[in-house]
Amino acid sequence: MKSPPHYRAPFWLPGGDLQTLYPALIARRPSVAYRRERWDTPDGDFIDLDWTAAPKAVGAPLLVLFHGLEGSSNSQYARGLMHAAVQRGWTGVVVHFRGCSGEINRLPRAYHSGDSAEIDWILRRLRAQHTGGPLFAVGISLGGNALLKWLGEQGDAAQPVVQCAAAVSAPVDLHAAGTALQQGFNMVYTKNFLATMKRKSLAKLLVHPGLFDAAALHATRTLREFDDLVTAPLHGYAGVDDYYTRASSKPHLAHITVPTLLLNARNDPFLPAAALPEQHMLSAAVTAAFPEEGGHVGFTDERGTISWLPRTVLEFVTMKC
């Protein structure tokens, strides 16, 4: 697998405020036509899925994408991957985590980095629907960590569901990621995330009074503080340390049996190179690619376009499956 060419990589933001920082990159992201479908969840909530509108060829693969923190089908990496899938005659679908499709979800809970149970029922339903070809799953950042955790927990049981997988810029060690995002320039990313997360949380508080203390929410300045106040208790964790320990995918990487690409740049501001898994921590099914540059989901080619990442991911799943 070729590394991305040497370049001065932007550290991309996975959320909706990328255009403010990198308007030129946004202008170059490909156009994708989506068809939205709503699913009721097993616990009485809902999620929205955006499907590519291109007709499906007989036996064509289904490319399933799980986005990153505060991402959506409009994120630049989502459009890039879905466009590349359509160009190959595949079907693509972006699964929105709860509350990320533009509408607040019904229940107090939302989504989190270790939600492998959510990944499980979604992928199994998609597999039941898509019977004519292989299913490839890709997770970006938070979605990548949750997907890796599911793959490791399932072991051999994942093979009938997913034929190949890829995780891009996944924060496999949430303790290390949480610490990194409290330091220096990384607080720019933290502020960006917290702006939308706080808005959503306050809107949810109006519907579900008493979930957490509004004043304490306003006072949070780091993702760790937010996760301790909101994410951890709403999703069954004793606190942020319990959440980061139990939700990290790193301990599960040795148990993955589905061919999986683990793609992280060594200069990713969200996960220090020292926190990347060593080879002995990976199963034989995991292909690790740790290029020196690329930032956080910031892999571009020598022309500055986003084509390197979709091409690399799609070539991997095609080759392995």
Helix (H) or strand (E) holding 92: strand 91-95
Determine the Cα angle at 120 with ends 60 and 170, to 5°.
85
Q: Could you tell me the end-to-end alpha-carbon distance of the chain, in angstroms, rounded to an integer? A: 16
* Nearest one of 280, 260, 298 to 68, comparing CA atoms: 298
Q: How far apart are CA 240 and CA 186, in angstroms?
A: 19
Structure tokens at 257: 């049996």
* Nearest one of 120, 148, 22 to 75, comparing CA atoms: 22
Point out the catalytic residue in the list 101, 113, 141, 201: 141
Query: Strands 46-52, 34-40: parallel, antiparallel or unpaired by DSSP?
Result: antiparallel
Catalytic (active site) residue 296? yes
Query: Strands 260-263, 286-289: parallel, antiparallel or unpaired by DSSP?
Result: parallel
Determine the Cα angle at 246 with ends 242 and 252, to 5°.
160
* Nearest one of 146, 134, 163, 170 to 58, comparing CA atoms: 134
Helix (H) or strand (E) holding 153: helix 142-154
Cβ neighbour number for residue 67 with a 10 Å cutoff: 27
- 2: Cα separation from own chain's centroid: 23
Distances (CA, A) of 253 to 76, 116, 297: 27, 14, 20
Catalytic (active site) residue 141? yes
Catalytic (active site) residue 201? no
**22 contacts 12 by C-beta, under 8 angstroms:** yes
**140 contacts 67 by C-beta, under 8 angstroms:** yes
> Could you give the residue numbers annotated as active site?
141, 268, 296
